[in-house]
Amino acid sequence: MHLIDTHSHLEDFIFNGEIEEILTRAREAGLVNIITCSTNPAEWPVYQKLCAETPDISWQIGIHPTEIKPEYADAFEAFGTFFTGKAAPVAIGETGLDFYWLPKDPEEAEAVKARQMENFKRHLMLASQFNTKVCVHARNSIDECVEAISASGVPFSNVVFHCYSGTAEQMKMLNDLGARGSFTGIITYKNAEEMREAMLAQGIEKLMLETDCPYLAPVPFRGKKNEPSLLPYTARSAGEAFGVSPQYIADATTQNAKDFFGLL
Ligand SMILES: [Zn+2]
């Protein structure tokens, strides 16, 4: 069974010196590619280097909506340098809007939202410029994300809503626009009926799987540190939901991820 983890955060594993171990376990579990996603500019050269040294790792460049800091404003100027030469990122991400964790004070909340929107628009502009895929983090903000993407001119077919957390109806709306969603180990959780419904509403043709590790470990590892080698548990669960074999899910999602991100 071959799988691609389309969204992970390997920084912790690199920092702790565990990365070789993690990659060995992932390869043994059938992972043929792992995409590691940036949350801040300090990770960019780290991921670029890892990617240059490791053929089955890819990366995304971006600033997470909850990690925006004034000192990162200049970082965007270096964006272009990462797209030239070896080990270019396969997408811009993760970026987007997180309206789940907002300050209680309404004025402060509005200021945070405005900052996130400015950051997101900047990413979308660059996605347009570099004609690249975009990995969107949307929490309580699907409509606002759609509005910003529409205004940016980035084709929705270049957009994936990672760790999809909207309704089945919203999934259909996104699919109609041309966008897609990818799914994490949450689909293995008993209480995640709504998410499984959204996954079924999209269908297998656009399905991609991800760990979003070190978070969101699938059952039976829920609550523990997640890693790419646990992705088969999510594939099995997706197979059960769709009524197909894990092998079928693995083949379909691997091909979808290759096609979407342009992986070899
Ligand atoms: Zn993430």
The band of 134, judged by pLDDT with boundaries at 50, 70 and 90, is: very high
Tell me: pLDDT of 264 over 80.
no
**Cα-to-centroid distance, 68 and ligand 1 (Å):** 14
Which structural domain, as residue segments, surrounds residue 29?
A: 3-261
**Cα-to-centroid distance, 94 and ligand 1 (Å):** 7
The band of 12, judged by pLDDT with boundaries at 50, 70 and 90, is: very high
**Cα-to-centroid distance, 159 and ligand 1 (Å):** 15
> Distance between CA 33 and CA 178 in Å, rounded?
24
**Cα-to-centroid distance, 246 and ligand 1 (Å):** 24
**Cα-to-centroid distance, 212 and ligand 1 (Å):** 5
pLDDT computed for residue 20 by the predictor:
97
| Closest-CA residue to 52 (of 88, 81, 80) | 88
Strand order from edge to edge, sheet including 31-37: 3-8, 31-37, 57-61, 91-98, 133-139, 159-161, 180-183, 208-209
Tell me: pLDDT of 9 over 90.
yes
Query: Which CATH number does the domain housing residue 192 bear?
Result: 3.20.20.140
Q: How far apart are the first and last CA of the chain?
A: 17
| Closest-CA residue to 5 (of 229, 262, 201) | 229
> Distance between CA 46 and CA 54 in Å, rounded?
12
**Cα-to-centroid distance, 238 and ligand 1 (Å):** 20
Q: What is the pLDDT of residues 211-250, one digit of tens each?
A: 999 999 999 999 999 999 999 999 999 999 999 999 999 9
Report the number of distinct structural domains present in the chain: 1
Query: What average pLDDT score do residues 114-138 get?
Result: 96
pLDDT computed for residue 141 by the predictor:
97
Tell me: pLDDT of 84 over 90.
no
What is the sign, positive or negative, of the torsion defined by CA atoms of 136, 140, 142, 147?
A: negative
> Distance between CA 143 and CA 93 in Å, rounded?
19
Query: What average pLDDT score do residues 72-98 get?
Result: 92
- Cis bond upstream, residue 70 (ω within 30): no
List the structure tokens of 157.
């077919």
**Cα-to-centroid distance, 9 and ligand 1 (Å):** 6
**Cα-to-centroid distance, 7 and ligand 1 (Å):** 6
Q: What is the pLDDT of residues 248-262, one digit of tens each?
A: 999 999 999 999 999
> Distance between CA 48 and CA 168 in Å, rounded?
36
Beta bridge partners of 57: 34
CA angle, residues 203, 207, 208, in degrees to nearest 5: 165
Query: What average pLDDT score do residues 149-174 get?
Result: 97
The rounded Cα 140 to chain-centroid distance in angstroms is 16
**Cα-to-centroid distance, 66 and ligand 1 (Å):** 11
Three-state secondary structure readout of 59-102: EEECCCCCCCCHHHHHHHHHHHHHHCCCCCCCEEEEEEEECCCC
**Cα-to-centroid distance, 34 and ligand 1 (Å):** 13
**Cα-to-centroid distance, 11 and ligand 1 (Å):** 11
**Cα-to-centroid distance, 37 and ligand 1 (Å):** 6
The rounded Cα 185 to chain-centroid distance in angstroms is 13
pLDDT computed for residue 117 by the predictor:
97
Q: What is the pLDDT of residues 24-79, one digit of tens each?
A: 999 999 999 999 999 999 999 999 999 999 999 999 999 999 999 999 988 988 88
Per DSSP, the three-state class of 34 is strand
Query: What average pLDDT score do residues 158-166 get?
Result: 97
The band of 149, judged by pLDDT with boundaries at 50, 70 and 90, is: very high
Q: What is the pLDDT of residues 178-202, one digit of tens each?
A: 999 999 999 999 999 999 999 999 9
The band of 170, judged by pLDDT with boundaries at 50, 70 and 90, is: very high
pLDDT computed for residue 240 by the predictor:
98
pLDDT computed for residue 262 by the predictor:
95
pLDDT computed for residue 85 by the predictor:
73
